[in-house]
Chain A
Amino acid sequence: MIAKFGIAGFVLLLGAALGLSQAAEDTQVQSHSSPGETREAAKAAGKAFAAHMQRAHGYLDAKQPALAIPEFQAAVAIDPENVDAQANLGVLLFFQGKAADSIPHFRAALAARKEEPGPGLAKIQGLLGMSEMRTLDFDDARKDMETAFPAIQDSRFQTQLGLELVGLDTQSGDLEKAAEVLAQLRKADPDNPEVLYAGYRTYSDLAGESMLALSLAEPDSAQMHQLLAHEDIRQGNTIPAIAQYRKAIAINPHLPGVHFELAELLRNSTDETLKKEAEEEYHAALLANPQDEKSILRLAEIDAEKGNIAQSYKGYTKAVELQPADADAKLGLAKTLIAMNQSDKALALLEETVKLEPTNATAHYRLATLYRKMGRTDDAKREVELYQKFKEMKEKLRGLYKELQTQPKEIRADEQNEQPEQ
């Protein structure tokens, strides 16, 4: 993964970040000779050191890292405490796949650094951790990577290091720690597919771990059946999921959220009988929690579908009161108001809806319609453009969901069918 940075770039980057420009003349050479001889020898050693370093950097500039390695090795033989030489040598060896060989140089660089640890040093420590991981020294690896991770400012390197740390935590079964690192990665690099996938895997593993723990602790609990219902839903098994919810309710009718979750499933069923039962479950959810805004909203939607306009208006209004940030509730109320010929009130609600949920294509379309009726052509045009943008986004997502549900063979068949002619 780290190879993505490019070796030469990384070395140069590292040098700059560390401020590694120690003068060759500063090089200290241990000696038992007389002061005069010592001075001469030190001067000669300093010159030799400087020459090696110059050549090494020359090779790096010429993108010949293999030739730079012996020069750095010669330099650290003269001055083992030179941070520049040790760090660069460590980096070069690391990128050559010689993790074990790089470790003493990283450690020497860290030990020789006189200033307070900074971002450059954090990189060295991060690389040390990664090297240790490759040599199966997991304890030291974790320690170094955990220390380095928060101090690194280069976002790309931080992401790579973080992902390796997540891998390490996952490998050692410490999913909570992995989740902590992922939370930071999500914040720093929210659109990175590697980070998102690692998040998916970690949270899935956490879910699996919780399922296992629950099945061992309380296999016959209401929560276990609620969980199994979720698993069935995930696999597209609606009827078994409904059965699991019913079992959960039989064990504990007051289980938080269970009536609403069952109602949602029933409402989206293609079976008319099951659809009708959804309403009862929403009411049951409200009995358990009279302020359950989502259930109130759903009942308002059902009333609207039945033509109970007064009831639906009441329900939507209540839902908006309870949760002013619920875009669905505001959209529902706006649509009801439009049906009641109160477009002015609906307009304000729709404008609030798109602020709350800018990706709501329906709200943008409804807004466009109202603007058009009012003669606000430019506003209508803008809303139509937003509608198109978010509709396309939704369709893309729908395609993805479809693919998730489709067997590989079918995916290939559909792709063949859906690809436009070239």
Chain B
Amino acid sequence: MIRLIILPFILLSLSALAVEERSLGKSPNGLLMGDAYTALADDDFTLFYNPALLARHKGFSLYPLNPSITATNIIKDPDRFSNTGTTTTSFADAAFNFPMHIGIDYSPGFKMGKFGMSAMVNYNTNFNLQNQVTPVLDIDHRFDRGFIAGYAHPLYGSFTTGKGGEHLALGLSVKYIEREAIYNSYNLTGISLLDALSQGSADAILNSLGKVNGSGWGADAGIDYVKSNGSQTFSLGLAILDIYTVMHTKDNPDNLEVQDQPMRINLGSAWKATMGAGFDLTVSADIKHLEQQMELMRRVHLGVEVGISPALSIMAGVNAIDNYSYGLKLNTGLIKIYAGFYGTEIGEKLGQQESDRFVIYFSLFHFGFDPLG
């Protein structure tokens, strides 16, 4: 039986796909658990992973301030730029195949019963210099603003985070995205880039590089199954993100298209054991991008979280075979902090190219209450 279940994945692993996931928001907890978070995301990032997890929520929760920063982990390869000399060539030699990333994410939101809403301000810029013969600078820049609102309904049973139970729930969400994007490759010594860099203002440079704006509405759907006997909790989730998200490009001189927001289908499961006194253990596994043909192991994300006390947890994970993540969470009630490192696959084929990054997240003044007890 197990072999029959695995067979489709093996068959579909014969061909590869594609570069980095175009997400609208990522939980730092998820990132530090190998992004195996589809069945666990009952936090402020629920709507970015699986709207069905809203069904686990009761009462009112507010997440007013929760910014996170992600950037290239330059300390993993500290010698790369230390002996580059003073020439452009030596610096570029060091920069080849060293993807640079900066991301800022701010997703304030609230949950009220099984309804949730999050704003999103998501800035992501990636640079990747490749090809020593004719250096090509890949620029992937997105600045998304908008909101997601969703609702989940238990199809049967009843479950509440922290209290246990069992349910199977269906969730739906709608979203609106305004996007500013540059997504192109430029010859480093070609006319396009040299011309752009000779422009006077930063805005003129971005416009010359092909900045386009667009907006669109979209929708997500998900299923959440969870069962808990109090000490152990098993959950399984299936999320179809951007099941129908259409971006419309605003007029621009070069008739460029704004980056679309492709559909993603993720299956995730998790098991959590609570041992009392704040000590708990969670393991999770996601199989992502069921909608695309790609190598099997590129889909697989695994994570673990060990709660040492109510205030401190350590997390670790792996995805696409050898992209490791690790970090910790410090929760003092009004202030919650995540910090750690994670790796993500960005090449065309499994193992081709990885981007090592760090993430720092602060959540201030998060609170929740349940008037019905």
Do they bind each other?
no
